[in-house]
Amino acid sequence: MKSSHLKKPGVRHLFAAGAAVLSMTATALMPAPAYAQFGGIVYDPSNYAQNVLTAARTLEQINNQIRQLQNQATSLINEARNLASLPTSILDPLQQQIRQTQQLLAQAQRISFDVQQIEREFARQYSGQNLTGSQREMVQGAEERWRNSVAAFEDALKVQAGAVSNIEGARSAVQTIVTASQSATGALQAAQAGNQLLALQSQQLADLTATVAALGRAQSLDAANAAAAKVQAREQLRRFLAPGRGYVPTTAQMFRN
């Protein structure tokens, strides 16, 4: 019964029309393609968005590389500053001042700063050997010891004057180094400025040591002279009072009648 109705021409046309309508509806509900054509140029929005994202990531990488290069350049500049040497040096003037002090010490008169010479001169002039000579020889020995003391004090004054004259050079050197250290651009320059200030202190300590040594030499020779003079005075008194050889009282006539 059903198959006889399907075989009728009207029913077949009705089914064909329904199928066409369903086909058109399905076609209308399908999504449109993600591209458009403008003047012969195909525009794909999804592809464009992907390209923009890729370009943004590439630009970010380039910016990161640029920042890294800037940091490396800054680091190299800082390293170059740290390795830069201080343009100012006071070592030559300081060495010249030390040489002048050494020359003053080397010009010490009579008994110099020499251990062997000191031993020889003390054995000859300040020991008991000079007490065996004549009265004239003892007087000459006392005069020579006195001259040693006077010369030593003169040498001490010279060394002190040299140390005082170096004060102006030290002041100028301090001003130069402090100015250079304030404008130092790197660690090496700052360290060199500090080293030069230590060198200046060493020079001043050398002057102080030389002054103390020269003054100590003069005081030591004067004390040795005083000790030798006491011993010589006792010997001269002994000879003066020695029976038969010392003083013999005689009649002295003060006025002539």
* Each residue's pLDDT tens digit, 60-91: 888 888 888 888 887 777 777 766 777 778 88
The DSSP call for residue 124 is I
- For the chain, what is the mean pLDDT? 79
Residue 183 lies in a domain: yes
Whether residues 78 and 124 fall in one domain:
no
Q: What is the pLDDT of residue 72?
A: 82
Domain, as residue range, for 46: 41-83
User: Which residues of the chain carry a pLDDT beneath 50?
Assistant: 1-8, 11, 14, 21-22, 25-38
Statement to judge: residues 180 and 73 lie in one domain: no
The verdict on 161 and 70 lying in the same domain is no
pLDDT of residue 154: 95
The pTM assigned to this predicted structure is 0.63
Q: Are the C-beta atoms of residues 111 and 121 closer than 8 Å to each other?
A: yes
Residue 111 lies in a domain: yes
Whether 112 and 218 share a structural domain: yes
Question: Would 160 be classed as within a structural domain?
Answer: yes
pLDDT of residue 5: 45
Tell whether 77 and 108 lie within a shared domain.
no
**Sign of the Cα pseudo-torsion (132, 133, 134, 140, in order):** negative
Instruction: Fill in the amino acid letter for 78.
Output: N
* Consecutive H or E run containing 196: helix 187-241
Are both 97 and 56 inside the same structural domain? no
**Hunting for tokens 């002054």 — which residue is that?**
211
Distance between CA atoms of 177 and 174, rounded to whole angstroms? Answer: 5
- What pLDDT sits at residue 153? 95
48 and 103 part of one domain: no
Q: In this structure, are 98 and 65 located in the same domain? A: no
In this structure, are 157 and 61 located in the same domain?
A: no
For residue 36, tell me if it sits in a domain: no
Of 51, 83, 115, which residue sits at a domain end?
83
Is residue 35 included in any domain, yes or no?
A: no
Q: Using the CB atoms, write b or e for 209-242: b if 16+ within 10 Å.
A: ebbeebbebbeebbebbeebeeebeebeeeeeee
Q: Is residue 234 part of a domain?
A: yes
State whether 96 and 219 are in the same domain. Answer: yes
Q: Say if 12 falls within a structural domain.
A: no
Examine the domain organization and report whether 195 and 111 are in the same domain.
Answer: yes
Crossing angle, helix 187-241 and helix 135-182, to 10 degrees?
170
* CA separation for the pair 226, 53 (Å, rounded): 104
Q: What per-residue confidence (pLDDT) applies to 128?
A: 72
Dihedrals φ, ψ of 162, to 5°?
-65, -40
Both 74 and 188 in one domain: the answer is no
Counting the structural domains of the chain, the total is 2
Q: Is residue 220 part of a domain?
A: yes
